[in-house]
């Protein structure tokens, strides 16, 4: 990151690409272990897609989203809650916004999907965020399935919104995304993400921008500098070592060159001050 001509900060990003179970490109350590955080959301939407034929592309997109609580995104969350059916007060993600509401939380779409799963399976919705609840046991199972690992090999932690998050190497993350559309329900979730990329984050989100730039690809960012993506049988995972997500766009642009894919529009992130003046930039 340069402010003027001075290098003010440096971010190191590890990256790996997997196809047909084999690493086809890499930078740094492909065995670096991290929690998937919100990059898990497409995986967490799979049990919903499998359980309910009535959820549509928008429902599955918002269930996979880390939204910014704009009007279109909140409308999609409300629609999924109504379909569940469930009330805002049942969301266990915590409250955000002004006035505070669970609806405004960036994970409310995922939580609405978990409530819809409870209704389909006739599970009690109370405590659905807890590790022992059938919803979270289903999430463990689907992560193990996607990554081709035993459930006992996955380390669980508690995510920012209160549900479980699972740790694995970035190589396993890329493998899980590479085979995502082959999994039961994966094609439906991916189609929803591609149809509604603006729901996944927003116009400025690296994942949303990547999906707009590369037709046929899906992408999902996660906290602490994680980005997972997939397209045409290739899965990619990038992890910023210091947890700063601002490096991911330029890093992805550089790494995707190894895959002969053009993400040039992500290659430079302008640095602006509070007067909207460009004072520097982030680039490889």
DSSP 85-119: T--GGG--S--BTTTTBGGGSTTHHHHHHHHHHHH
Give the per-residue pLDDT at 4: 95
* pLDDT averaged over 10-residue windows placed end to end, the chain, 284 residues: 97 98 98 98 98 98 98 98 98 96 98 98 98 98 98 97 98 98 98 98 97 98 98 98 97 98 97 97 96
Give the per-residue pLDDT at 152: 96
Give the per-residue pLDDT at 221: 98
Give the per-residue pLDDT at 272: 96
Give the per-residue pLDDT at 38: 98
Residue 200 near residue 207 (C-beta atoms within 8 A): yes
Give the per-residue pLDDT at 141: 98
**Beta pairing partners, 22:** 19
Give the per-residue pLDDT at 213: 97
Neighbours of 69 (CB within 10 A): 16
Sequence-distant (6+) residues with CB within 8 A of 277 are none
Distances (CA, A) of 181 to 39, 162, 217, 218: 15, 27, 11, 10
Give the per-residue pLDDT at 171: 98
Give the per-residue pLDDT at 175: 98
Give the per-residue pLDDT at 109: 98
Select from 241, 219, 214 the least CA-distant residue to 230. 219
Domains of the chain: 2-53+129-283 (3.40.710.10)
């Amino acid at each position: 990151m340069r402010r003027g001509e001075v290098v003010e900060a440096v971010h190191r990003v590890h990256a790996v690409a997997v196809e047909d179970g084999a690493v086809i490109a890499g930078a740094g350590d492909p065995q670096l272990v991290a929690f998937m955080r919100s990059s898990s959301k497409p995986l967490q939407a799979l049990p919903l897609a499998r359980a309910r034929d009535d959820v549509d592309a928008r429902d599955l997109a918002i269930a996979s989203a880390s939204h910014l609580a704009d009007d279109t995104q909140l409308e999609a969350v409300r629609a999924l809650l109504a379909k569940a059916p469930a009330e805002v007060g049942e969301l266990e993600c915590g409250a955000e916004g002004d006035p505070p509401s669970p609806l405004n939380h960036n994970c409310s779409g995922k939580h609405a999907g978990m409530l819809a799963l409870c209704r389909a399976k006739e599970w009690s919705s109370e405590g659905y965020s807890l590790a022992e609840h059938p919803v979270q046991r289903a999430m463990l199972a689907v992560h193990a399935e996607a990554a081709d690992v035993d459930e006992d090999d996955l380390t669980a932690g508690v995510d920012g919104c209160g549900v479980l998050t699972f740790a694995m190497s970035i190589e396993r993350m890329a493998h899980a995304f590479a085979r995502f559309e082959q999994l039961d329900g994966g094609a439906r979730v991916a189609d929803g993400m591609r149809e509604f990329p603006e729901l996944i984050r927003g116009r400025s989100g690296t994942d949303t921008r990547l999906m707009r730039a590369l037709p046929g690809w899906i992408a999902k960012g996660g906290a602490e500098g994680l980005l997972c993506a997939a397209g045409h049988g290739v899965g990619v995972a990038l992890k910023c070592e210091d947890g700063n997500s601002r490096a991911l766009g330029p890093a992805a642009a550089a790494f995707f060159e190894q895959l002969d894919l053009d993400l040039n529009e992500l290659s430079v992130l302008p640095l602006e001050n509070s007067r909207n003046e460009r004072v520097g930039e982030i680039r490889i």
